[in-house]
Chains A and B, each alone.
Chain A
């Protein structure tokens, strides 16, 4: 598929709405094409910005309490409930219509609570794979771009000072001599509008990205995630107020090893 054809489908890619084979094909294309990779990255970042801006309103504590007690009220009503009456709908008052009908009262009580409180698990799961995809996108887009790193150096004493003034925190880099990893360099990336140090390491022929940023809002991610479709693996932890994310297509053990090196240097 050519660039113009991909560009028509880039929104669907960013929304993870392409069929899995096309998702993989776009990733492969983006690894070769800096323009499409940059485009996908810009759109991904835009999507994140819109998500943050769109989550604008919070219900008042009063409304929240009212809704919950209404739902629990269903429960109380159930204790004193008469059997549901079967009458033509037109004779029902609003409240009766609310609490009777085809469903027994206990089921309505359960439904009321479910209606108001359901979705947490689903929402979290979605968030988790989304966050992995965001880091995978940053990783792939950087590797595909014409200048994957802004400071090209294998020397940690060059890379670390380069970040001074570019990011609002500091961190330490591990001594890699004797380890199977080498440092290729670094760049500044943005995650949820927060500047992040993006370091690129090499392990054999695999490139691994490390992102370090201040965690201003908690990100929903377990310590270790593997994405079945893209084969990326991720390790993450927080340390000294900073969030560390290690992501790459190397084996889980390798990612873990690099994560360990970084962890014990801080």
Chain B
């Protein structure tokens, strides 16, 4: 049940609560079934399902609360370079981070970056499908991905500096 598994995983990341995630997935399938005739053949079916799931979440109590507290960081970040900086350990911090450290960093990421990174890296969706799920232009998807990845790298590189125990691992490289 790969689609079900993906949706459930995404729902847990959105709600951060097991029973809320279960309700969300069930409601998503029920809605999909009711609205099956509104699915346009030829468009991405997964994107359609994720869109239903996310929209259902956004109208839930947790989702509404999350929406209200959403940060304005994206606007503030405009014009800032998100180009990858290679010659620093920062660019490798992410690849060599432990799963736990990475999950913690993903949790701390503002929601609008976390969801785009999950859809792109975990669900391996195309940019145009992510744009469909989030109802935003494709350019916004691209800038959120770039900025989200940069924030993740910075968070993990910062963590390394603070924790001498894991610093040795970087030097060995």
Contacts and interface: CB of A to CB of B under 8 A. Distances in A.
A54 interface: yes
A115 B94 CA distance: 35
Given A39-B86, A67-B26, A97-B34, A11 B145 contact: yes
B122 interface: yes
A18 to B, nearest CB: 11
Interface in A1-34: 4, 7-8, 10-12, 15, 17
B154 interface: no
Closest 8 CB pairs of A and B: A45-B95, A54-B122, A53-B102, A46-B94, A57-B12, A119-B3, A50-B121, A7-B83
B142 interface: yes
A171 interface: no
A43 B4 CA distance: 28
B124 interface: yes
Nearest to B23: A63
Interface residues of B, number: 53
B94 A50 contact: yes
Given A52-B99, A53-B106, A54-B118, A10 B84 contact: yes
A94 to B, nearest CB: 8
A98 B34 contact: yes
A242 B39 CA distance: 44
Contacts of A51: 121-122, 124
Contacts of B152: 46, 50
Interface string B1-39: 111111011001100001001100110011011101100
Chain B interface secondary structure, helix, strand, loop or mixed? helix
Contacts of B103: 53-54, 56
Given A10-B84, A108-B33, A49 B102 contact: yes
Contacts of A50: 94, 102, 106, 117, 121-122, 152
Contacts, number: 152
Interface of B: 1-6, 8-9, 12-13, 18, 21-22, 25-26, 29-30, 32-34, 36-37, 45-46, 49, 83-84, 86-87, 91-92, 94-97, 99, 102-103, 106, 117-118, 120-122, 124, 126-127, 142, 145-146, 149, 152-153
Nearest to A190: B95
A116 interface: yes
B91 A39 contact: yes
A55 B153 contact: no
Contact of B84 (A7, A52, A117): A7
B106 A35 contact: no
A193 to B, nearest CB: 8
A64 interface: yes
A15 B84 CA distance: 14
B86 A49 contact: no
B98 to A, nearest CB: 9
A47 B142 CA distance: 15
Given A17-B126, A98-B34, A108-B36, 6 more contacts: A45-B95, A46-B149, A54-B13, A70-B26, A115-B3, A130-B124
A11 B149 contact: yes
Contacts of B13: 54, 56-57
Contact of B99 (A36, A53, A67): A53
Given A57-B12, A118-B45, A98 B5 contact: no
A59 interface: yes
Contacts of B32: 115
A116 B4 contact: yes
A38 B5 CA distance: 34
A42 interface: yes
Contacts of B18: 60
Contacts of B21: 57
B140 to A, nearest CB: 14
A53, A66, A122, A130, most chain B CB atoms within 10 A: A53
A70 B4 CA distance: 13
Contact of A57 (B4, B9, B29, B34): B9
